[in-house]
Structure 1
Amino acid sequence: MSAAVRRRPVAVVGRRAATRVGAVAGLLLLLVALLLAPAAPASAHAVLVSSSPAASAVVPSAPSEVVLTFSEGVRTVPGKIRVIAPDGSRADRGEPSVQGAVITIPVDPGGARGTYLVSFRVISADSHPVPGAFTYSVGAPSPPPVDSGTDNRADPVVENAVKVAKYLGYAGLLLLVGPALVLAALWPRRLSRRGPARLAWAGLGLLTFATLAELWLQVPYTAGGGLLDVTGSGLSDMLGSAYGTAHLVRLGLLAAAAFLLRPLFAGPIGRSDGIILTILGGAAIFTWPLAGHPAASPAPAVSVLVDAVHLGSMAVWLGGLVMLVVFLLRRADERELGAILPIWSRWAALAVAALLLAGTVQGLIEVATPKALVDTTYGRLLLIKIGLFVLVLGVAAYSRALVRRRTAAQRPVTLRRLIGVELAITAVVLGVSATLVQTTPARTATTQVTGTPAGYWSTTLSSPIYSLQVELDPAERGNNSVHLYAYTKDNRPQPVKEWKATAALPSAGIEPIEIPLLPLTDNHATGEINFPAAGEWQLRFTVRTSDIDQATVTATVPIK
């Protein structure tokens, strides 16, 4: 036996050992990413659902605080929450405080009469900024002031750059998954692997670039700045969020996978290496839903799983189509295509079935109601995506029929053209998807308020020892939410020892119904009541502010 032959097994063993060492190093990078980016609490794509004072409301005297209540928990953007007085000066005093979904902004209780502007920009847990503004008036309305100190509108260049980065990430994923899958299971031994390997490396590079670009762009995207408005503190805050964690984990997984991809691109790899590569790829897929809407949906575990299945199926299907149209249908002979195409056809059918199932579940969660499907931007984009997908399925069904009739191997040019049409349409689908993930989900967009909500009722009641702001939503038959805010006579928060409330409809013979109240802060309580009938309901509130001091106030509210 020659020395060259004796050295070959040693070289192979050395290469495999180096591969495993590289994979371990990549996993270590993943662990470092996890340590550097502590997890943030999860919530959802938030929208403003109520405020105190209410949007467009006229209150008798200046409040000592403005309270914003969102649909889910939020984080503040430094310097982006402001209250502007009628004369254009700042009415807010100090930094706002955040408790989950509630932001409390301290304001000057001795403010002048007139209209005040509240502007805000916060970040929901699915990484998206939530900007907005509304007005309220003290005493009587006046011309609304202009906030010249800040602009909460998003930079359109940054917004579009984020969408482009997400599109490139999707493209890089399918260009990486397709070659890796086909080379591992369907590639003829006689054909060179150089072309698919170059395509896969390009996909890996594109995916890495897109991930880094998303990390960079997330800072100005959430803060409302330009492309270069990235500060050290902003970058640190972003990397410490769930969004930053998911992207750092993705980079670590890509680094680990790169060491196993190199031997795959050179030749067949062992079963253990294939299993490790599959696990790394599956884990990387989960970083997309964990950094977006699914992680913040009403059913996060289900949403994350179905979104990962949706994305993985897309990568397998479209990545495989790219390999077919670019390489196999051009280079493989009729005998090889006769063996490859039936297997690929079954794989594609499974991937499409998974896409349909996952997409249906995902749509039901994110849209919630048929009305939201047509009344929101998210719903309309989803309808466009579904229409394009149906068109793709029609082309794919014809391609599959050719394979079943065993004529595809003899007519590779026809099949290549059909696959080209599929890829052209799905390129548009990916663009719609990149926009969709940046759009407020329909389930929350339908709850967003711009001004006083329809049916919303608010009033301020006075007693000798306190004033009570009462908010009722939606002031209609059925379930309603009640919020009570107690203030001293000089408009400071009034600590309350005990809250009591009842509702009655004498005209219908309905005796007083007790409203269970839950104190949220010293001066804020909330409760739920079901109004069984329409009419002029009489509300009665008894507030005890000390062991001996209490007073009762009443109000009449029209329930439709």
Structure 2
Amino acid sequence: MSELAPRRRPSLLLLVLLAGWLGLGVATAGPAAAHAELVSTDPGEGARLDAAPDAVTLRFTEGVSLGAGYARVLGADGERADTGAPSVDGGTVTVPLREDLPDAGYVVTYRIVSADSHPISGAYAFVVGDGELADAAAVADDADVDPLVAAALPAARTLGFAGLAVGLGVPAFLALCWPAGWASPRMRRLTTAGLVAVAVGAVLTALLQGPYAAGAGLGSLLDPALVATTGSSAFGLTTLGRGALALLLAALLVPLWRRAGAPTAQESAGLAVLAGGVVLTTAAVGHPVAGPLPVFATAVTAVHVAAMALWLGGLAALLAGLVRRGAEAGELAGALPRWSRIASGSVAALVVTGVVQSVREVGSPTALVSTTYGWVLLAKLALVLLLLAAAGVSRVWVQQHLGVARPRPGGRRRVTAHAFAAPASGADEQADEGTVAAARVRAAAQARGAVEDVGPLRRSVLVEAAVAAVVLALSAVLVGTPPARATLAEPVDVTLPLRSAAGESGSVQLSVDPARPGANTLHLYLFDDAGQLAQPADLRVTLTEPEQEIGPLEVDLEPAGPGHWVADGMSIPGAGTWTVAVSVRLDEFTATTASTDFPVR
């Protein structure tokens, strides 16, 4: 970040804001955001119906689309029982069924795309009449994400992010800090390559989205049906629009490169509008557009992206253009103070918007250290701190090599040589002209000596650029990783008193792990009044989701020792607030119950 580090110690600000976020997360941890979850089905999992329904309904926590996915109902033999025309209305997917279905077991299998572009798949079974419950796992052939596609998508995003930083950040650096750089062929090549990388990354991301959503391999990259499906979706249109805007921006920069001059005010306005469009289309996909407050989240992400481009693009311009052997003192003295202010503002914006994004996507310190998203975010944070440390080294070099002593009433203070290259402030105008002139002479002499050995500064900026490249790669991984809030599940471990008409009689200890939709493991321990493990005459456990009117669902228990029962593979159909109820008949005359609610995410 060169001179480069903000004078207000952004690393300290970053740590303070992180600490505040940790505290805020404890108070605000709530339901999952920015990732769709199945909350209810009709018919429910394991339901036994007298007659076949007209349709199967799946309800999710947010808007979804079928895209390249599917939603279908299969018989136990794998034959289609639906009409092949599922419909989507917001977060509800309806799958019409064929008429006159026989009594049998049926499997509902789905693969849909959430608003943040991630595929969500699953399967469950129900029974009509006297048929047997089908094995959903055996009948459904849910495709997982192809490993090559899973690796190619973050690579395409990384290419696009790197191109964004260079393609937007370099011309911004030239316009704001180094007008003479418009004549540099190296800056032209760097900017053009960056904007082309944005376009190529956008096209590759759009092409890969089809196989990613469908669970297909790279061989389906150019499948016309997948390409058409992605191209007609909001994700596809926004992503391809970003590529088109980047190419248009590259075309509008051509006249500036040819005349090797800074843009006019009118040209600057046009370029700024296009650059803003590239930033906005980058922010308006993925996690920001899903979950609560999408407009606010998109705006925060846009500021984050713009700050990233200004900071990292400036680093690239410094490394490729200014910080080189034989650099002119006047160029360094004129560009570095302006860049320092821009870098300071960019880092502050990155810290603030990064904290806001983290609170929204992570939600609590527990999620930070127990999910893939959280660990990747921590790695990114550590690298940002390393970036700030490298920036501090750059700043020290600038102060040591371009700094001069300037007399001042009541004491002395250090100022940089390039401060004299900038327009004089009001205090400078009141200073003694002879003193200022002498200081300028000394500053110029020191600056001429400094540019003869820019090796340490160049190495420091090179470290910043290398670490920044890794940060961009981690950002690309985060975009494709479900938010921590959506994946965090907290196991249940609770001891409840058993109550009867006569009062309390013993207790029951329950644990449910991992308390997620799908297969779970329940352990139950029964204790008598003396705290000893007890063996009842009868024991029954049920699951109910009152808000969604699901259940009670019987839980099959297996004895695992004295006073101990296990339900391994206990199925929880979907997210919600579930009630587990235990009914215990200790003898012919005494029956007790206990129940507790727990969240499933």
Cα pair distance change 1:77/1:201, threshold 3 Å: closer
Amino acid at match of 1:161: A
- Matched AA of 1:385: K
Q: 1:349 aligns with which of 338, 344, 350?
A: 344
- Structure 1 residue 129, shift from structure 2 partner: 1.8
Corresponding residue for residue 274 of structure 2: 280
Q: Aligned partners of 2:181, 2:189: CA distance in 1, in Å?
A: 18
Q: Aligned partners of 1:105, 1:285: CA distance in 2, in Å?
A: 38
Displacement of 1:143 in angstroms is: 5.0
The Cα shift of 1:201 comes to: 1.1
Which letter maps to 1:338? Answer: A
Which of 466, 469, 483 is matched with 2:549 structurally? 483
In the alignment, what sits opposite 1:257? Answer: 249
Partner of 2:461: 419
Contact map agreement 2:62 2:291 (CA 8 A) in 1: no
1:300 to 291, 294, 297: 294
Q: Distance in 1 between matches of 2:594 and 2:547?
A: 14
Structure 1 residues 280 and 443, CA, compared in 2 at 3 Å: closer, same or farther? same
Please tell me whether residue 154 in structure 1 is matched to residue 145 in structure 2: yes
| Residue matched to 2:474 | 432
For the residues of structure 1 that align with 2:137 and 2:83, how far apart are their CA atoms? Answer: 18
Q: Which has the higher contact order (CA 8 A, sep 6+)?
A: 2
Kept in 2: contact 1:126–1:295 (CA 8 A): yes
Partner-residue secondary structure (3-state), 1:67: strand
CA deviation after TM superposition for structure 1 residue 453, in Å? 7.5
Residues 241-390 of structure 1 mapped to structure 2, 5 A cutoff? 241-265=233-257, 266-330=260-324, 331-390=326-385
- Indicate if the aligned counterparts of 1:325 and 1:416 stay in contact, CA closer than 8 A: yes
- Give identity over the alignment, percent: 38
Q: Deviations over 1:187-238 (max 9, x none)?
A: 3639941111111111121111112222222222222223342444433332
- Secondary structure, counterpart of 2:70 in structure 1: coil
SS at 2:36 equivalent: coil
SS at match of 1:103: strand
- Give the distance between the partners of 1:77 and 1:268, measured in 2 at CA: 45
Residues 112-156 of structure 1 deviation map (CA, whole Å, 9 limit, x = unaligned): 455x443211112222222223345667656556347x5422222
For residue 107 of structure 1, report the CA deviation from its aligned partner: 4.4
Whether contact under 8 Å (1:253, 1:284) holds in the other structure is yes
Aligned to 1:177: 168
Aligned to 1:104: 94
- Shift of the 242–335 alpha-carbon distance from structure 1 to 2, 3 Å rule, reads same
Distance 1:152 1:449, change over 3 A: farther
**Partner amino acid, structure 2, of 1:290:** A
Cα gap change, 1:312 to 1:372, in 2 (>3 Å): same
Q: Tell me the secondary structure at the aligned position of residue 298 of structure 1.
A: coil
Q: 1:78 to 1:276 in 2, by over 3 A?
A: closer
Alignment-derived partner of residue 27 in structure 1: none
State the shift of 1:318 in Å.
Answer: 0.9
Structure 1 partner of 2:193: 202
Q: Secondary structure at the match of 2:123?
A: strand
Equivalence for 1:83: 73
Distance 1:292 1:95 in 2: 27
Equivalent residue letter for 1:222:
A
Q: Distance in 1 between matches of 2:78 and 2:245?
A: 51
Q: Name the CA shift for 1:421/1:135 in 2 (closer, same or farther; >3 Å).
A: farther
Matched, 1:187 2:178: yes
2:361 is matched by which residue type in structure 1? E
Q: Which residue of 1 aligns with 2:518?
A: 451
CA distance in 2, matches of 1:260, 1:117: 56
In structure 2, the CA distance between the partners of 1:221 and 1:190, relative to structure 1 (3 Å rule), is closer
Residue 59 of structure 1 is matched in structure 2 by: 48
Contact kept, 8 Å, 2:176 with 2:338, in 1: the verdict is no
TM-score normalized with structure 2 length: 0.65
Deviation string, structure 1 residues 391-417 (Cα, Å, up to 9, x no partner): 212222232233344548625211111
- How far off is 1:351 after superposition? 0.7
CA distance in 1, matches of 2:481, 2:181: 47
Change in Cα spacing, 1:54 to 1:374, as seen in structure 2 (3 Å) is: farther
Shift of 1:111: 4.7
| Residues 120-139 of structure 1 aligned to structure 2 (within 5 Å) | 120-136=110-126
1:298 Cα offset (Å): 0.9
The aligned amino acid for 2:111 is R
Cα distance between partner residues in 1 of 2:80 and 2:360: 41
Q: Which whole-Å CA distance do the structure 2 matches of 1:354 and 1:152 have between them? A: 41
Once residues 273 and 182 of structure 2 are traced to their aligned partners in structure 1, the CA distance between those partners, rounded to angstroms, is 27
Larger gyration radius, structure 1 or structure 2 = 2
Q: Are residue 68 (structure 1) and residue 58 (structure 2) matched?
A: yes
